[in-house]
Chains A and B, each alone.
Chain A
């Protein structure tokens, strides 16, 4: 139960952090990516804040033998740069720039009960299911690893 409640609190805090930073507004994402237009550096500060804190806490936390509510760590250990990583990030980035929505923002902004976040959320889910289907049929991901 602690494990689940922990995840709930993390989700809640994450959403509050996103809201405070202003990046639940796609205008701020587009503004950050718009380096040849009217550049808005807000996201840079948000990234710096998040990475700055976690860079330090990561090292401290990993000194423990195990996490508090679990017996094991679930942390990616892979190092190699694969075509899947590059092509996937490229596709993700194009979508992120076109819409101004990443998955976290799309879930959180569902709470606004407005139409457009719902449209984007449903399309993100569709993209994930499309990947799942294509991957199942063609082993796309392992071919690109």
Chain B
């Protein structure tokens, strides 16, 4: 077996429950983003662009779409004889079968996989973030400092710092303290959940951590503090650039909208750092004479006869004549029928919006069913739903996956209401 210098373990098991109906049937890393991608494409593309060709993808929650998406890793050039991409799902052991308990436990359960390559270094990534990062530069930094562990950090606004794991470091970057979600943060360097470890050391800590019954088996909560406590050489690698945890409906929507600004902070058009994804077999898109498209991203296979402003259209979206799309995300193969109006909404895959239906109008009232999720004025329609013609739908409305005309008790769905398939919430 060829010895790999560094391999990646990509944590892709999280549900991302704050994305509501968008992650009801798929794990967060499989959520569509940016006109043709899924969130996990960014971490995977970063790997191959950084020269890492061996990636273990740890899946757990609703992995079907994720598995189908990754396949044998062809789009990322990871269909390799040695290494490549391997999907690691929880499995049954001799006596017990168990789920991955925490991030560290997920890696612990796959020690055998990593040992097979006997790498010097392991990089732990999460499949939840939108960013471009050259991990090989981080590895250089790790080696220069003769570190045991290097944690990638990003400067966040002070008022947001208490939402993150915060690294307190000396001027040279050496970490002396780690605080998980501190009330009064001492620094604004937040962990991005990207760690490089010397594999023999991490291996030791994973085994120790697993023996500790009161551990949550989490990198941030357990492994990092334990290593710091033992006086290991731990360094913060400062990243500056576009990095977003698109974990809420609002953050997801905003990050997508960032892409349509004139010179986006996050450049998808960089030939030196391509983002790879399975390409749909669809023709170049068609913009009709009756159409008007401004400040938008439009993917292959779309047909636009209506108006699209400040929006993102995924492959195969069809916008009929007279339809007006504004500040919205329309995912793959959805159709917006004639004279419909879609404002500030996220429309999942294979949705049909009937003629003259109006979405995203009215007062900004938080959702009654899940006020913690749908509260930023954005209406979300689950995949394969169909909105009846002439329906008027307010803000912060949730339309369930597969909901159809029969599930609409009224054509008028006020702001903050929800429409469930079969009429009832689960």
A binds B: no
Question: Which B residues are closer than 8 A to A by beta carbons?
Answer: none
Question: Which A residues are closer than 8 A to B by beta carbons?
Answer: none
